[in-house]
Amino acid sequence: MRSLLTVISFLVFSSSYCQYYFNDIVSTQVSNEQYKLLRTHKVKKIKATSFEADNSITDGFLLDEEISMDGKRSTLNTTITGGKQSVTNRTYEQNRLKRTQTNSNKIDIRTDYTYTEKGQLQKILFTTTDTAQKTVSTEAHEWQYDEKGQPQSMLRIKNKMDTTFIELIKDEQGLIVEEHWKKKNRILETYYYYYDVKNRLTDIVRFNNRLKKLFPDYLYEYDANGRVIQMTQLSVSSSSYIVWKYTYNEKGLKQSEAGFDKQKKLVGKIQYLYENY
């Protein structure tokens, strides 16, 4: 049976091949809303404890985050597989994420967020510095919106030279249903988004060349309060998938998440504790 840390590594690696609309627009909105919830309940510290399938504590796992009293900064300390450590500092402005900066193994990754006057995400700038090799690389995501304030397109610019055009297609309700990556008039990738009757995102799908059919990357389920209670992430290359199930406390803060493999066996779980000011 795989350890929970192996599962986390699987998720981190797989998530690097995700959709721009979801990663940039949706995830940033969700992150900002979660931060507002933490501030509402005056949370100053979050600590996560990881357990294996046999209920033993995962060896070498550390995750704790501390939020400043004014809510403008937070520091996240993480240790995962192989003792790899990282420190992430986040800064906030008007309850919106403004910058994250992560230092790990002589690699510095800084992400800067810019918003429009209406609070829409306008630009994300990723700057990666390898202090050992003394190299710097950048990637900018510049978002455009239509007259209704809906995201319409994005320019992905690597190192100020290499540009990919991201086009979003909406349905009659204004929901984003397709995401096209284009370069030199050629479509590189297409993602499809599906929703339930309450317009909540349920499936993120793309065409798989090996299987010659559409195949989901992510599947989501919700509770009565609109919170995600289950997320399934699939991996075609390894014919594997992980199902994460989430619980929340009475304040709406995440209480636990448990991972299950394709045989529906518990791989491990993470429990969260919150400390207030």
Judge whether 277 lies within some domain. Answer: no
Q: What are phi and psi of 256, to 5 degrees?
A: -160, 160
For 143, half-sphere exposure in the C-beta direction (CA atoms, 13 angstrom radius) is 25
Judge whether 276 lies within some domain. Answer: no
Question: How many domains does the chain divide into?
Answer: 1
Task: Assess contact for 136 and 126: CB atoms under 8 A.
Answer: no
Judge whether 54 lies within some domain. Answer: yes
Judge whether 109 lies within some domain. Answer: yes
Report field, pTM of the whole predicted structure over 0.85: yes
- Among 227, 233, 231, smallest CA distance to 254 is for 227
pLDDT tens track of the chain, all 277 residues? 344 444 444 444 444 456 899 999 999 999 999 999 999 999 999 999 999 999 999 988 899 999 999 999 999 999 876 778 899 999 999 999 999 999 988 899 999 999 999 999 999 999 999 988 899 999 999 999 999 999 999 999 999 999 999 999 999 999 999 999 999 989 999 999 999 999 999 999 999 888 889 999 999 999 999 999 999 998 866 678 899 999 999 999 999 999 999 999 999 999 999 999 9
Token code pair at residue 216:
């989901």
Judge whether 18 lies within some domain. Answer: yes
Judge whether 47 lies within some domain. Answer: yes
Task: Assess contact for 275 and 45: CB atoms under 8 A.
Answer: yes
Task: Assess contact for 124 and 25: CB atoms under 8 A.
Answer: no
* Structural domain for 29, as ranges: 4-271
